[in-house]
Structure formats: structure tokens, C-alpha cells
Structure 1
Amino acid sequence: MTEPSPAPSRVRGRRPPQGDPVVDRAFALLAAFDAGHRSLTLGELSRRSGIPTSSTLRLAGRLQAWGALERGTDGRFTVGLRLWEVASLAPRSQGLKQVALPFMGDLEEVTRQHVLLAVRDGEDALLVERLSAHQAMPVLYRVGGRLPLHSTGVGLVLLAFAESAFQEHMLAQPLMHQPENVAVSPAALRRTLAEARREGLVTIRRRAPQPLVSVAAPIFGADDTAVAALSVVVPRENAEPRLLGPAVRTAARSISRGLGARRSIGASASAS
């Protein structure tokens, strides 16, 4: 009978190799900040991250030394510029923004409202750039903010040109229009996505929080897949979708060419 092998001895002072809790806690501290909590006291940072105050102080000090956090004279913590500096190097937004900004500027000059540029990140649209005229209507969209795929112009475009398996995953969920709190019809959403793929354009009209119209088009990359979405957001009373649509589609086509795409916007997508 074979004797059982001895249990592996644990090295004193080392943690099991299933991850680095220190890194996880540092991420938790950074995730405690959001659009409604841009400045946090030590106690707030501890509560929102779920990390004890002593550990929060120690980790926040390390992050502050590196520049990921800053601390004001009032003792409150904010996200540091070093974190923004590193994030600005993300290739999915950097090259895209360089190509897109001149065309976004043209649209902003014509519409005198808002021009949005977004990419898909998980199950959301992530806003990577926004240009807004001085007299533009107030909106909740902010750079770095997340928008729902199923009920925004840029989101619907990104969903329409996503892989079919992802579309089915989203359609299987109980989706709601917010802030109207109205359920999304899967059948109606399928028709919207099919039309977006056919026309290369999405036009939506929202009544809340205030009446607006959004017209969006896809941007394709060098591999001819949709890498981003471009849209204009204008007050509903001033909206002329028949004029806005060609302008947005032309700008999106120009950005796509700048990124090396060969595909024509409006061509049928392979996804169904």
C-alpha cells in the first residue's frame, strides 16, 4: 500500500498563489470613486471600498505617492492625474480620438449641439470623447461615463454591429428604458438592430429627462469590424434627422477611412 504523499509545506510569510489581495484592494479603492463621488474622505473611502480604515490609509498613501490619488489640504482624496496620464495611452481610444476629433469638430460646428464618440466595453457603451457647443442643451453624458447599449444612439449602433452571440446574450436580458422605466420589447429591439445594420444609421427620440433626438452611425477599423460609434444629440424641436443622418454617416465614413477601413457604412453586416 502506497503511503500518502506529505502535504506541501506552507512557506511562512507567503500567501497562496490565487491572486494578489493587495492589488485587489488597490483596485477597490479606485473603484470607490464615481461621477457622484469625485472627492472622498478617508472614512468614505474605507466604507465605499469595504476596506478597514487602517489598510485604506496605508494603501491610499501608496497610491498617492505614485500619483494615482491626490489628497487636498482638507484631507479628502481625489483621483490623481497620473492615473489619467496612463489611461490616456489606451490604444482603443487614443488613435481613434486623433482621427475622429477633426470630423467631430465639423459636426459640432454645424449642429451647435453635442457630438459623442463611444466604444463598447463589456455590456455598456463607454464615452471616450464629447464635443459640445456653448449653447448646447444640457445632457447627462460625460467623458468616461457609461451608456446603455439598448437605449442610446451610440449604444444601439455598437450593439447592432456586435457579434451575434453577444446580441443574443443582451436580448435575453430583461432590459429597461431609463429614466422612463419602460420595458424594452425584444422583438422591437431586433427590428431596430436589423435596420441599423441595413441603413448604417440609428435615430432615436427620447422624451426624458428632456426631449431630444440622437442620430448615430458606426465607425469601422482596419479589420472592417465596428470599433466605435459616432452620434449627434440635439433638442427635439430643432432636429432634422433627414439632414443630420447624411452628415453623421459621412463623418463616420471619413473616420473609418482614416482608421484603414475598406468597408462602406450602410453595407449589410454579417451579424443577424
Structure 2
Amino acid sequence: MDVKEDEKKGIQSIESGFSIVKAVSLAEEPLTITELSKLCDMPKSQLYRYLISLCRIGFLEKGPDLRYSLGNELTSIGLHAMKKVDIRVKALPYIKKLNELLDDTVALAIWIEKEGPIFISWEESRKPININVRIGSVVPLTTSATGNIFAAFYPPEKTKELIDRELGSDQTERAALESLLTNVKKDKYAYTETHLPGITAISAPVFDQKNDLVASLSVIVLNGVLDSSKHSFATTELIKTAEELSSQLGYLHL
């Protein structure tokens, strides 16, 4: 048998499984088996067997409404790949520079669809006691400095579902959040001392050449170590570093 001809054959089931995962990833919302059957041009009986396996290995997950969305294992694989993406590579010198200047933990977070803000890179402080940020950690939009940056600057249609999930129907908290985000937009930074007991964090937005938010740069320390006020040294340097990184990504400061 010709080797080249044999290589062309591949494994059809892997290709079919990928087409299913890709269809789910491109959808705006979770899909039913009927919708997937039409998108993938595959009979439900055959599709169902793929869905069982894809859910079993964590590439997809089946909700209580019987709709399918991307699973945690696939998100985890994506995060490992993201360690190599351009934003992380370009951000690393700025993270190290700010870390050396402040000697505090500095972290970078990006947005993952259906998950929210997730830390993808960090540089820890050299102090005897410091904050360890876990790569892949998801942070809330409403109660964390990093989350507040995305809630303020990321498209509302992307953040609405997560904010609704965190706040529920509490109108008082919604009003307080709107007021907070107004200040975040005006000051170009966010801070919190309440998300995790004993920890203070300040965060600033990072934009790209399209003027879109692509990341949040944060300084995370123990309470009482850092002045989180707008004109403090740490806040000023954080905002300055975030702006320098934004410029590196092509953002034009108007």
C-alpha cells in the first residue's frame, strides 16, 4: 500500500468529533441534539454516541435543559495553549517590570467565553509572605478588581449573563455596581479589599489596536501593604504599565 495514500485516510471518527466540538464552540448559546444534528449533517442516533464520549472526556457538557456547551477539560486545554499566545508573550516584560518595581504579586487575566475573567500569567512577590495566584483561576465580575475591569470595559452583551448570575434580582446591589463601574471607567482602574478576606487588589485595563479590552493587569497583596487610592505610587505605576502594554498592542491613547 502506498504510504502517502494511507496517510491521507486519517481517522474519520476524530474528524467527525472535532466537527461537533467546533459547531458547539461557534454557537452563541448551548445547542440541542436536534440543532447539532442539522449543523453537523449527522443522524441523531450516530451523533448521540459522539456526544456521550465528548461529555465523558470533558470536551462538552450537557446542561439540565439537555443542551450542549463546551466542557471544562477543553477550557483547560485552551488555557495551556493560551500561555503561548501573543498577549501573554508581549505582557511578560511589563509584568516582570511592575513586579520588580513594587515587589508585589502581579497577574494578567483575559476573558474566556462562558467562564469570565481567568488568570493566565503572574509573577509573585519576593516578600516572605506573598499571594499565590493560580493560573486558570476564574474571578467574579462584581466583587473582584479584575472582574470590575471586565464589567466596566468589556461588551455588555458578553458580561450580562454572568453579572445576572452573580447579583440575581437584587436591585440595590445592581445600582451600587453601576455606580462603581462608572468610577472605574472614569479612573481607568478598579480596586477591592472585600473579594477575599485579607487581600487587596488593584487592576487596570489593557486595550488593543481596535480599542477593545483584551486583558486586565492586576497587583494583588495582603491588606495593609498597598495604598489602593487613585494617586498612590502603586496605582499610578499600574495604570502607567497597563497603558504602555496597550501601546505595545497598538492602542492609540486619545
What is the TM-score normalised by the length of structure 1? 0.61
SS in 2 for 1:125: strand
State yes or no: 1:131 paired with 2:131.
no
| Larger-gyration structure (1/2) | 1
> Could you tell which deviates more after superposition, 116-125 or 162-171?
162-171
8 Å CA contact retained: 2:205, 2:216: yes
Matches of 1:170 and 1:88, distance apart in 2: 23
Alignment of 1:20-99 (within 5 A): 21-22=49-50, 25-30=53-58, 88-90=80-82, 94-99=85-90
SS in 1 for 2:205: strand
8 Å CA contact retained: 2:143, 2:194: no
> AA paired with 1:253?
E
CA deviations on 1:175-223 (whole Å, 9 max, x unpaired) are 29xxxxxx981111111111111111111113743x2211100000111
- Of 189, 194, 216, 1:229 maps to 216
Q: Judging changes above 3 Å, is the alpha-carbon distance between structure 1 residues 23 and 133 closer, same or farther for their aligned structure 2 residues?
A: farther
CA RMSD of aligned residues (A): 3.4
> AA paired with 2:182?
A
Give 1:25 deviation, angstroms.
2.3
Matches of 2:57 and 2:207, distance apart in 1: 35
Give 1:141 deviation, angstroms.
3.2
- Of 180, 190, 193, 2:178 maps to 190
**Which residue of 2 is the match for residue 108 of structure 1?**
99
SS in 1 for 2:219: strand
How many pairs does the alignment contain?
Answer: 196
State yes or no: 1:152 paired with 2:144.
yes
8 Å CA contact retained: 1:137, 1:234: no
Q: Judging changes above 3 Å, is the alpha-carbon distance between structure 1 residues 255 and 193 closer, same or farther for their aligned structure 2 residues?
A: same
Alignment of 1:179-258 (within 5 A): 185-206=173-194, 208-209=196-197, 211-241=198-228, 242-258=232-248
Matches of 1:136 and 1:231, distance apart in 2: 20
What is the TM-score normalised by the length of structure 2? 0.65
What 5-or-longer segments of structure 1 have no aligned partner? Answer: 1-13, 33-48, 50-78, 177-182, 265-272
Give 1:174 deviation, angstroms.
4.8
CA deviations on 1:93-143 (whole Å, 9 max, x unpaired) are 611011111110011112222111001223521111111024364546310
State yes or no: 1:142 paired with 2:134.
yes
**Which residue of 2 is the match for residue 161 of structure 1?**
153
8 Å CA contact retained: 1:149, 1:156: yes
Q: Judging changes above 3 Å, is the alpha-carbon distance between structure 1 residues 169 and 31 closer, same or farther for their aligned structure 2 residues?
A: closer
Give 1:226 deviation, angstroms.
0.6
Bigger proportion of residues as helix: 2
Give 1:165 deviation, angstroms.
3.6
SS in 2 for 1:206: coil
> AA paired with 1:190?
E
CA deviations on 1:136-173 (whole Å, 9 max, x unpaired) are 64546310121111111111101100223445545544
Matches of 2:246 and 2:128, distance apart in 1: 26
Q: Judging changes above 3 Å, is the alpha-carbon distance between structure 1 residues 237 and 95 closer, same or farther for their aligned structure 2 residues?
A: same
